A and B are shown apart, each in its own frame.
Chain A
């Protein structure tokens, strides 16, 4: 049981890193990204090809996954620079499907739908599966912490402020003299890089990747995590990811104790419960469990002459 719990916390941590990556793009900058599983896959394949075929050390593979996926993010951001809302959502969804279908068909590179197995993991095979599990939990926890701290830094830095500005009204930001497209590209690069890194961490953990594993279902999990946790909030992203994994896993045990259900009914009930729990959360807390908190400074008392100025400027 302990081993199972450790594995699930590890999964939740990886989802949490993904949610943090999505949070920069969607939560902070307001760009709807439904293609995040594409970046996740990109990172996973990058490190897999490097570490398995070229013997690159795992740490370097993960770093390379970050860099290459960030570059892919910049490309996507520049292509979609002028799109917003639904249009951006569709294009990014298209991006992730393109990655998946490319991975399915470029067999020489990705081994096609068979996927790639035997991806190395740190000390895998040298230690017992339980110890490996524990080591990996530590690694993932480290990554979650580091990414969280960086994202908090971004949030409170001038960049984070401008990103929120773009989210609320990009024309105002442009009028204020900011290069909106460049800043969007920056946010996309950072978020995509983190998503790619999560993919790399995932690949080294499970030791097997295949196009089938990079379906939009994963995107939905992460979007749900962020929505439930609180869009825009880094703490919310991590808590949301843990919550989604908790729902997915605890429902296995709950449905097993309901008497008189056939297996397929249990499976359906489980999916129903996961959906219902999230609806309940969002109904009770529409902005998520940990909504974004923005410190608003009170406007200073206008000086007497200022009041006169204000009056005059009114039409």
Chain B
């Protein structure tokens, strides 16, 4: 073998440097009328990839509507979107770009709890407002100084509702949890242990599995040995699909209930109807009877809008209305005004355009969107939301109760 020559010539190095310079100069957006810059950070790929695209569309729709109606504060809105890849490391780099390069005043629609926790410090340090749909209890306990709100009810609230439904409505006495290891696994177990006895039921056991396994037969056996009359499938779609199959094979005939984000249409399509028959689902429900929800469903061209897209629809509305009320586009202005336009005694509005009109007329508003009332506590949790309970019948969902 001969000696290799140093591979990069001086000319090559200059070319490379030139290419870098051109590439970094390219993206600088045109600054014609100084648009208001907003950021969307959604899980377009990775585990959240089945929700992210429609979450993003909901945000884009709200912004397109406002721009078509002349913008806000006389300025157009420019949306900068990035993909979290449902991974905290990728999300941190993406949010750096949104905050530092695109100079957005708000970042909307982070999904996974780990992603939200990873990007939140960067947002509050740079006084950028963050709205998320993550459910882990710990998120709003971060020292976020008010720069964070979420529209997804936290685990404690969800389990309080679920416990009541299982004990009082379904009249089940012995619940067993079969769940993936998630930020809410432990909270859910603790909360159900407290709540179920108040409704004449009890939690007789819980088992946390590794969600990447391809068979859960031994876990199913352990669960069945405890003789539960209801099993709570507390995981995500891929693992819950396998668990349901294994429960069926094991001859389990008791009741099953799972969150609607995992027992969803995708799961029903991938399993025979026999396997999924009579499985219950619960979900924080979007306000399905509201006009805001119906308009969003029509736009997305679906019968049922998932809760996350309903929520990001409202994220964009809340951010824009806050900016309008403040008369200024900054993260701090949104922080100061988000509760002033979303709760209180103002005129009820269910869409951003009506809200802008009333605000322009100097009136106070109270925004209620596709996801529900959007009223926030001091630490940024949603105060109350509706829950929807459904049952699978013949491979389709049938709504049992909303409330």
Contacts and interface: CB of A to CB of B under 8 A. Distances in A.
B262 interface: no
Contact of B88 (A208, A263, A266, A294): A208
A290 B13 CA distance: 13
B7 interface: yes
A253 interface: yes
Contacts of B83: 263, 266-267, 270
Interface string B93-123: 1101101110000000000111101101110
B89 interface: yes
B31 interface: no
B117 A117 contact: yes
Nearest to A5: B24
A1 B183 CA distance: 34
B52 to A, nearest CB: 7
Contacts of B89: 213, 217-218
A271 B45 contact: yes
Contacts of A312: none
Interface stretch (B53-61, B217-225, B244-252, B296-304): B53-61
Contacts of B44: 263-264, 266-268
Contacts of A271: 45
Nearest to B45: A267
A212 interface: yes
Interface in B38-67: 40, 42, 44-45, 49, 52-53, 56-57, 60
A77 interface: no
Contacts of A289: 7-8
Please classify how large the interface on chain A is, using the bins under 10, 10 to 19, 20 to 34, 35 or more.
35 or more
Nearest to B100: A4
Residue of B3, B83, B143, B208 contacting most chain A CB atoms (<10 Å): B83
Contact of A263 (B53, B92, B99, B114): B53
A296 B88 contact: no
A253 B23 contact: yes
Interface stretch (A51-59, A65-73, A104-112, A185-193): A104-112
Contacts of B100: 1-4, 7
B126 A129 contact: yes
A281 to B, nearest CB: 12
A124 B8 CA distance: 39
A105 B209 CA distance: 9
Contacts of A107: 186
A285 interface: yes
Contacts of A1: 28, 100-101
A210 B88 contact: yes
Interface in A256-283: 256-257, 262-264, 266-268, 270-271
Interface in A166-220: 206-208, 210-213, 215, 217-218
Interface string A114-139: 11011000000000010000000000
Contacts, number: 143
B182 interface: yes
B208 A105 contact: yes
A257 B26 contact: yes
B277 interface: no
A218 to B, nearest CB: 6
Contacts of A213: 87-89, 114, 118
A291 interface: yes
A250 B23 contact: yes
B35 to A, nearest CB: 15
Contacts of B56: 263-264
Contact of B93 (A2, A248, A267): A248
A137 to B, nearest CB: 13
Interface string B10-43: 0000000000100110111000000000001010
B117 A263 contact: no
Contact of A257 (B27, B49, B60, B94): B27
A112 B181 contact: yes
B181 A105 contact: yes
Given A267-B45, A296-B3, A113 B97 contact: no
A42 interface: no
Contacts of A115: 88, 114, 117-118
B328 interface: no
A8 B27 contact: no
A266 B85 CA distance: 12
B138 interface: yes
Per CB-CB distance, the 4 closest pairs between chain A and chain B, nearest first, are A253-B27, A4-B100, A267-B44, A264-B53
Given A8-B93, A114-B117, A213-B87, 19 more contacts: A4-B101, A8-B96, A105-B208, A107-B186, A112-B186, A207-B121, A210-B114, A211-B114, A217-B85, A217-B89, A254-B23, A256-B27, A257-B27, A263-B40, A263-B81, A271-B45, A285-B7, A294-B1, A296-B1
14 contacts: A101-B210, A104-B181, A107-B186, A208-B88, A212-B114, A252-B94, A253-B27, A262-B53, A263-B44, A267-B85, A271-B45, A291-B7, A293-B4, A296-B3
Interface of B: 1, 3-4, 7-8, 20, 23-24, 26-28, 40, 42, 44-45, 49, 52-53, 56-57, 60, 80-83, 85, 87-90, 92-94, 96-97, 99-101, 112-115, 117-118, 120-122, 125-126, 136, 138, 142-143, 181-183, 185-186, 208, 210
